[in-house]
Amino acid sequence: MSLKSEIERRRTFAIISHPDAGKTTLTEKLLLFGGAIHIAGAVKSNKIKKTATSDFMEIERQRGISVATSVMGFDYRDVKINILDTPGHKDFAEDTYRTLSAADSVIVVIDVAKGVEPQTEKLVEVCKMRKTPIIVFINKLDREGKDAFELLDEIEQKLDLKVKPLSWPIGMGHNFKGVYNLFEKKLFLYSKLDKQTIEEPKEIKDLASPEFDKFLGNSANKMREELELVETVYPKFEKGRYINSEIVPVFFGSALNNFGVKELLDCFLDIAPSPLPRHTDIRDISPYEDRFTGFVFKIHANMDPNHRDRIAFIKICSGIFKRNTNYLHTRLGKNLKFSSPTAFMAQKKSVIDEAYPGDIVGIHDTGNFKIGDTLSEGEKIQFKGIPSFSPEIFKYIENADPMKSKQLNKGIDQLMDEGVAQLFTRSFNGRKIIGTVGALQFEVIEYRLKHEYGATSRYESGDFYKACWITGDVKELKELKIKKYRAMATDKHGRDVYLAESPYSLQMVQENYKKLQFHFKSEF
């Protein structure tokens, strides 16, 4: 198969949502329809020992939430699908932001009862900034929730998106009978009251036909009115407008009951973009270029705790990635070759010989990589749009067992490379401070240090308002380091950081040192 046809048969997308909207359940069901798994895990059920395929870290199984991005690849209808299942919890938003840099499109999951929630708003904002095409899946139609039109208005107002329903629900909660697929002009109904068995779809192109009444009974006329309103009020669907992020298709269903998921997947394959061009500091990279390029968007230590392995996740952007071939690590300026690159199905890995644009490849890392690093066939480029953000919560980390200081230092070093949190070392006393965007990350770090590295730690509160990276005039920077020495630190990469104790102290420093720039994200 040619490079062009391999690229065009790939779809790489992320699934995002507020916690508990059913994102991981939807991921499971997509894998189920794709034949990648045979039993769907129940994320929250203690009765079922098999947990969600995408939640493979022990702490995820215990808490019933996703705390790290999972990568899953499978083939469906001769299309290679790469799903990035992201954490929904706001405390892990930074991992999600970076993952969105590797996605060519996004499915946003919304709970029919709760509607648009705060975390959904933040994540959609990032997608809009990147102009990433979005599909919305309104989930949990088997429960009572908001009216469909009310939900669409909420999406348009809160998320500032122009929507176009491509399926429409027939009832809701106890009265949920199925959906009418506007994209395929087909009716999908449950065949049993247990809401687990779906009949063969009925093709109904003319809503005035008696067949419509036969299948829907008393609901038929109400459905006709609603569908007529949908076709009148919302714009006509055009694939080009969706890919340019001008219009957002909306689907309704119940992931738990397998309803609406196959229709979503089939339509997604027809309309979603194959790999898109990527921005670098020099030029845009087209996926159809012959020369290989890719970037690291995630690092995960101890995917298999028995082997203490550390994996760098690389998104292939152009050309063909080949096993045992020398590629330039542009930051280090040295050539590296990889003997066992892997493809993923959650924590299951298989060695591959080749990968194409859109694919996600795992590379065993001995400490060469950090998030944002670029690999190429010799061109010195740096992909853009993979930042770290200024933390919001700070704590000193202390060693609770002096006999395990080596293990603690190694654990902190590796976990910080993953981007779980950021490490700052105070310049005047060498104390280590961990900064995160959410409190739950401290629990994850403590848990993983203990269970993966055998190191026990404790935290002390750090009363800081903001950490910002500093660049600019050398003389002024030197003066700042002397006068504000107690507020100075370095990050893991040795860059100067100012730790502001309050909004006022930050404002005063900015006013007094006009030739310095204070950065609130690491990509500067």
Token pair belonging to 400: 């609770």
> Percentage of residues in the chain with pLDDT exceeding 90?
52
The highest-confidence range among 31-35, 241-245, 449-453, by mean pLDDT, is 241-245
Residue with tokens 């809160």: 158
Q: What is the pLDDT of residue 68?
A: 45
Q: What is the pLDDT of residue 345?
A: 62
Q: Compute the mean pLDDT over every residue in the chain, rounded to the nearest whole number.
A: 85
Q: What does pTM read for this prediction? A: 0.78
Pick the range with the lowest mean pLDDT from 5-19, 31-45, 105-119, 304-318. 31-45
Given a cut of 60, whether residue 192 has pLDDT beyond it is no
Whether 30 and 255 have beta carbons less than 8 Å apart is answered as no
Separation between Cα atoms, residue 284 and residue 38, nearest integer Å: 41
Q: What is the pLDDT of residue 66?
A: 43
Whether 329 and 382 have beta carbons less than 8 Å apart is answered as no
Per the document, the length of the chain is: 524
Whether 258 and 30 have beta carbons less than 8 Å apart is answered as no
Coil, helix or strand at residue 276: coil
What are the C-alpha distances in Å from 402 to residues 57, 271, 452?
27, 57, 18
**Phi, psi at residue 493, to the nearest 5°?**
-100, 15
Separation between Cα atoms, residue 65 and residue 440, nearest integer Å: 11
Pairing label, strands 342-345, 348-351: antiparallel
Pick the range with the lowest mean pLDDT from 7-21, 54-68, 199-213, 228-242. 54-68
Separation between Cα atoms, residue 218 and residue 215, nearest integer Å: 9
Q: What is the pLDDT of residues 289-311, one digit of tens each?
A: 999 999 998 887 665 555 556 78
Token pair belonging to 329: 């690590």
- What is the rounded (10 degree) CA torsion for 208, 211, 212, 213? 100
CB-based burial of residue 239 (10 Å sphere; 0-12 exposed, 13-18 middle, 19+ buried)? middle
Mean pLDDT value of segment 364-387: 88
Token pair belonging to 362: 């795992």
Given a cut of 70, whether residue 20 has pLDDT beyond it is yes
Q: What is the pLDDT of residue 32?
A: 80
Provide the sign of the torsion angle of the four alpha carbons 419, 374, 314, 369, taken in this order.
negative
Mean pLDDT value of segment 175-198: 74
Given a cut of 90, whether residue 250 has pLDDT beyond it is yes
Separation between Cα atoms, residue 81 and residue 13, nearest integer Å: 8
**Phi, psi at residue 175, to the nearest 5°?**
-95, 10
Q: What is the pLDDT of residue 97?
A: 76
Given a cut of 80, whether residue 277 has pLDDT beyond it is yes
Mean pLDDT value of segment 157-186: 90
Q: What is the 3-state secondary structure (H, E, C) of 371-407?
A: CCCEEECCCCCCECCCCCECCCEEEEEEECCHHHHHH
Token pair belonging to 426: 């105070």
Nearest to 110, CA basis, from 243, 286, 235, 264: 264
Residue with tokens 């299942």: 85
The domains found in the chain, sorted by start residue, are: 3-70+91-184+235-271 (3.40.50.300), 278-376 (3.40.50.300), 393-519 (3.30.70.3280)
Q: What is the pLDDT of residue 415?
A: 84
| Beta bridge partner(s), residue 298 | 313
CA 278 to chain centre: 17
Nearest to 449, CA basis, from 298, 305, 297, 299: 305
Coil, helix or strand at residue 344: strand
Q: What is the pLDDT of residue 47?
A: 31
Token pair belonging to 224: 């006709």
Separation between Cα atoms, residue 417 and residue 95, nearest integer Å: 12
**Strands annotated E in 264-359:** 278-279, 284-285, 293-301, 310-318, 321-322, 327-329, 334-336, 342-345, 348-351, 354-355
Given a cut of 60, whether residue 6 has pLDDT beyond it is yes
For residue 140, the number of C-alpha atoms closer than 13 Å in the C-beta half-sphere is 18
Pick the range with the lowest mean pLDDT from 37-46, 407-416, 491-500. 37-46
The highest-confidence range among 65-69, 180-184, 484-488, by mean pLDDT, is 484-488
pLDDT-based confidence at residue 21 (cuts at 50, 70, 90): confident
Given a cut of 80, whether residue 349 has pLDDT beyond it is no
Pick the range with the lowest mean pLDDT from 28-37, 60-69, 513-522. 60-69
Token pair belonging to 268: 């997604």
Whether 161 and 273 have beta carbons less than 8 Å apart is answered as no
Q: What is the pLDDT of residue 149?
A: 96
pLDDT-based confidence at residue 44 (cuts at 50, 70, 90): very low
Categorise residue 20: left if φ over 0, alpha if ψ from -120 to 50, beta otherwise.
Answer: left
Edge to edge, the sheet with strand 178-181 lists 167-170, 178-181, 186-189, 202-203
CB-based burial of residue 172 (10 Å sphere; 0-12 exposed, 13-18 middle, 19+ buried)? buried
Mean pLDDT value of segment 329-340: 94
Higher pLDDT pick, 382 / 56: 382
Whether 285 and 384 have beta carbons less than 8 Å apart is answered as no
Q: What is the pLDDT of residue 215?
A: 80
Given a cut of 50, whether residue 65 has pLDDT beyond it is no
pLDDT-based confidence at residue 48 (cuts at 50, 70, 90): very low
Separation between Cα atoms, residue 91 and residue 438, nearest integer Å: 4
Q: What is the pLDDT of residue 90?
A: 58
- What is the rounded (10 degree) CA torsion for 53, 58, 64, 70? -40
Q: What is the pLDDT of residue 497?
A: 95
Q: What is the pLDDT of residue 350?
A: 81
Q: What is the pLDDT of residue 46?
A: 32
Q: What is the pLDDT of residues 357-370, one digit of tens each?
A: 999 998 988 888 88
Pick the range with the lowest mean pLDDT from 64-68, 154-158, 499-503. 64-68
